[in-house]
């Protein structure tokens, strides 16, 4: 579509401007005074500008500080392996959970079946052992989180899907999704129900819901917001709030994705394999060591620095020091990569140790569909 | 579509040939020896050639005579008033129920909302007070029948809808439904699940299901049969059996429909209004009384005779005598209509008396959706 957002651009580019201007997303930084006033800590991704935009998050924060019920919701399509792109969403869920938000995680098994054409048993296995288990190992509290498969969510959730279908035209669907298949039509309404059903009393009546997404996912949020509006008189739904983040790039600077395993670090990669992948990553280095010592490296163009920034370095002061070392030319890419690789290997070893028991927990807390 | 079946043609016309030749529907009369052999009485509509075709009904009859579980299913869109066209389907359900078949009645509230855009509360009221109540008053045993709203049917039913959506292309849908809307896409899969979900263990595991429909409904049956086939390896579904009937014409010889109230007799019409409608009906009479006495009337072109044949005269010998009186010119259209009107008025008075308590029963046995 003409206004297609490129999710891989940095927030400084034209597309970011477009999101803010054309789609009415507000800059996240406008909310920082509100967080400060309410005494709510910012998340790592908020502090670092990775979460750059939002819709209605102020409403959610105000409701939260009044002690009202608030929730955060996301969905994963169980069709590949859990990687550092997914981890970023996980980190956001954990942040909100620790503030006291209710967490809902949809496993988009219907979509994986209809659109990706995977076998059902494989979808269910991946959903539990790959997605839910990794989320738990990362620190999501399994007992306080609602994990569900889309095909296993109960009648009122499906009623929304059915009723939504009368409220949208084919042209509106095509504007959002391009070429349509019956599976995509179904997936669109199912996703809208994922976002909105938690407002129903049957699912806890969470009227204040935030959905953290990449900028490319905004069309889904706009559909959900429109549907909330169009259901007036049928069922009372508030439009969801959302936040928008830039996506961590793959190791070659292009997309991080399960379908590009050489450029994607999975949380179940053997640590030494992950080290080798990282050592081959694109950096923001100069053509020669001499030049780099003189001019400094370019961390904002460096995939390794993005790994530090998104994931490996929780402490802001340490991250600032790494940036300075790079920009002043005090460290070259080789040793910097080795340091990142050491951090990565340590993270993966620790995570994979936690994952062993997390798989057992995941099998216990998620109800698999009967077929 | 090019092979569109005209449901209003008599079974002798070209379209009937087409159904049998192009779509592989079998003539019903081929099954009469099987019914005789198994000692199963034919229904009024079977005996009179109104049910003219079938698919796989022999499989259902054989399963029935082996003592296996068998079911009959139909759906009504709760968007108008219950008329004599609906009664014909009701009569078939009652016939199968008295043989011992399990009866399922879907109330297509999702479709009424998405396609007809009626308010939800009105849809639910019509479903219960108009459709279910009339079915019960006609003799369907409320305690032995499963009546359900499409938006209230539970998770495995919806899972089928979601999974089906990955198994059909947009072109296939368009070939069946013409111009698509999201609501029609949803309605198509929902109807397929209506037909197939009763095979799931969660709904009784009825693997032998017959769906009695008008010839115009065959595209839905073909979709359901294809889907049963394409779900192999996911869930085990047998294709549904079906029977095909000609439709009773409206009082002007065209379509009987809620949207044409002057030409449609509703089961809740005040009896004297129904009498007036019938007295204005198209008959198979000749231009003059003299001619009619000489040449006889044409009962096969007469809407009043069709009312006798489909509904008012259960006894075959009586019906034969009426035909003979007409064809030999012994009775003219005026007195014949008055006789039919008397029968109709008597039927309606009796039915409407039963309807009073049936509405109460309907409210008790059907669970309305919560929104």
Q: Domain containing A347 — which CATH number? A: 1.10.240.10
Which of chain A's residues have a Cβ under 8 Å away from the Cβ of B233? 119
The answer to whether residues A73 and A160 belong to one domain is yes
Domain count for chain B:
2
The answer to whether residues B90 and B168 belong to one domain is yes
Give chain B's length: 371
The answer to whether residues A108 and A162 belong to one domain is yes
Picking from A247, A269, A290, the residue at the C-terminal end of a domain is A247
Which one, of A22, A74, A131, A47, lies nearest residue A358 by Cα? A131
B169/A181 CB distance under 8 A = yes
Number of H helices, E strands in chain A: 17, 7
Which of chain B's residues have a Cβ under 8 Å away from the Cβ of A189? 182, 186
A186/B186 CB distance under 8 A = yes
Q: For residues A52 and A346, what is the distance between their CA atoms, to the nearest angstrom?
A: 29
Of B115, B163, B185, the CB nearest to A113: B163
Beta bridge partners of B103: B72, B145
Q: What are phi and psi of A269, to 5 degrees?
A: -60, 135
In chain B, the DSSP E strands lie at 26-27, 51-55, 70-76, 102-107, 145-149, 208-214, 241-245
The answer to whether residues A228 and A280 belong to one domain is no
Q: HEC string of A77-99?
A: CCCCCCEHHHHHHHHHHHHHHHH
pTM of the model: 0.92
In B124-207, the DSSP E strands lie at 145-149
User: Is the complex ipTM higher than 0.85?
Assistant: yes
Q: Which helix (H) or strand (E) holds A125?
A: helix A120-125
| B181 belongs to a structural domain | yes
Q: For residues A187 and A111, what is the distance between their CA atoms, to the nearest angstrom?
A: 5
The answer to whether residues B159 and B30 belong to one domain is yes
The answer to whether residues B228 and B90 belong to one domain is yes
The answer to whether residues B303 and B202 belong to one domain is no
- State which residues of chain B have pLDDT below 50: 1-14
Q: For residues A278 and A274, what is the distance between their CA atoms, to the nearest angstrom?
A: 6
For the sheet containing B26-27, what is the strand order? B26-27, B51-55, B241-245, B208-214, B70-76, B102-107, B145-149
Q: For residues B9 and A293, what is the distance between their CA atoms, to the nearest angstrom?
A: 89
Picking from B247, B274, B295, the residue at the C-terminal end of a domain is B247
What tokens appear for B163 in the block?
């999974």
Q: Which residue of A has its CA nearest to B188?
A: A182
Q: Give CA separation, B283 vs B41, B83, B202, B292, in Å.
A: 32, 20, 50, 12
Distance from CA of B141 to the nearest CA of A (A): 26
Reduced to 3 states (helix: H, G, I; strand: E, B; else coil), residue A136 is helix
| A223 belongs to a structural domain | yes
Q: For residues A80 and A56, what is the distance between their CA atoms, to the nearest angstrom?
A: 32
The answer to whether residues A55 and A144 belong to one domain is yes
What CATH number did the domain enclosing B112 receive?
3.40.50.620
| B368 belongs to a structural domain | no
A 246-285: CB under 8 A from B: none
pLDDT (tens, 9 = 90+) of chain A, 371 residues, equals 233 343 333 444 446 667 777 678 999 999 999 999 999 999 999 999 999 999 999 999 999 999 999 999 999 999 999 999 999 999 999 999 999 999 999 999 999 998 888 899 999 999 999 999 999 999 999 999 999 999 999 999 999 999 999 999 999 999 888 889 999 999 999 999 999 999 999 999 999 999 999 988 898 999 999 999 999 999 999 999 999 999 999 999 999 999 999 999 999 999 999 999 999 999 999 999 999 999 999 999 999 999 999 999 999 999 999 999 999 999 999 999 999 999 999 999 999 999 999 999 999 999 999 99
| B64 belongs to a structural domain | yes
Q: For residues A371 and B190, what is the distance between their CA atoms, to the nearest angstrom?
A: 18
| B1 belongs to a structural domain | no
Which of chain B's residues have a Cβ under 8 Å away from the Cβ of A120? 163, 234
| A206 belongs to a structural domain | yes
The answer to whether residues A294 and A156 belong to one domain is no
| A364 belongs to a structural domain | no
A 207-236: CB under 8 A from B: 233-235
Of A113, A155, A163, the CB nearest to B166: A113
The answer to whether residues A173 and A320 belong to one domain is no
What tokens appear for B161 in the block?
């809808």
Full domain range(s) for residue B284: 261-357
Which one, of B78, B138, B130, B129, lies nearest residue B103 by Cα? B138
| A256 belongs to a structural domain | no
The answer to whether residues B196 and B314 belong to one domain is no
Picking from B195, B216, B247, the residue at the C-terminal end of a domain is B247
The answer to whether residues B180 and B51 belong to one domain is yes
């Amino acid at each position: 579509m003409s206004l297609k957002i490129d999710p891989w651009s940095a927030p400084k580019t034209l597309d970011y401007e477009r999101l803010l201007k054309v789609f009415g997303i507000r800059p996240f930084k406008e909310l920082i005074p509100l967080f400060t006033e309410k005494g709510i800590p910012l998340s790592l991704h908020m502090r670092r500008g990775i979460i750059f935009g939002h819709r209605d998050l102020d409403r959610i924060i105000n409701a939260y500080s009044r002690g009202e019920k608030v929730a955060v919701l996301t969905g994963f399509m169980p069709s590949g392996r859990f990687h550092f792109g997914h981890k970023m969403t996980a980190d956001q869920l954990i942040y909100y959970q620790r503030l006291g938000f209710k967490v809902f995680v949809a496993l988009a098994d219907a979509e994986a079946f209809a659109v990706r054409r995977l076998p059902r048993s494989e979808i269910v296995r991946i959903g539990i052992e790959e997605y839910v288990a990794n989320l738990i190992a990362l620190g999501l509290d399994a007992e306080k989180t609602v994990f569900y498969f889309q095909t296993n969510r109960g009648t009122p959730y499906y009623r929304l899907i059915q009723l939504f279908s009368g409220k949208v035209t084919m042209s509106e669907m095509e504007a959002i999704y391009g070429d349509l298949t019956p599976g995509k039509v179904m997936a669109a309404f199912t996703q809208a129900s994922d976002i909105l059903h938690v407002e129903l009393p049957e699912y806890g009546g969470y009227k204040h819901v935030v959905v953290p997404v990449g900028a490319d996912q905004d069309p889904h949020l706009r559909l959900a917001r429109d549907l909330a509006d169009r259901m007036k008189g049928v069922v009372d739904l508030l439009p969801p709030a959302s936040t928008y983040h830039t996506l961590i790039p793959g190791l070659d600077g292009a997309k991080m994705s399960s379908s590009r395993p050489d450029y994607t670090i999975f949380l179940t990669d053997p640590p030494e394999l992950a080290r080798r992948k990282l050592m081959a990553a694109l950096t923001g280095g100069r053509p020669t060591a001499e030049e780099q010592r003189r001019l400094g490296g370019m961390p904002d163009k460096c995939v390794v620095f993005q790994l530090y920034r998104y994931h490996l370095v929780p402490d802001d002061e340490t991250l600032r020091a790494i940036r300075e070392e790079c920009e002043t030319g005090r460290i070259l890419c080789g040793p910097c990569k080795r340091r990142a690789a050491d951090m990565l290997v340590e993270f993966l070893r620790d995570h994979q140790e936690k994952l062993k028991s997390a798989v057992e927990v995941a099998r216990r807390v998620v109800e698999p569909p009967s077929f």
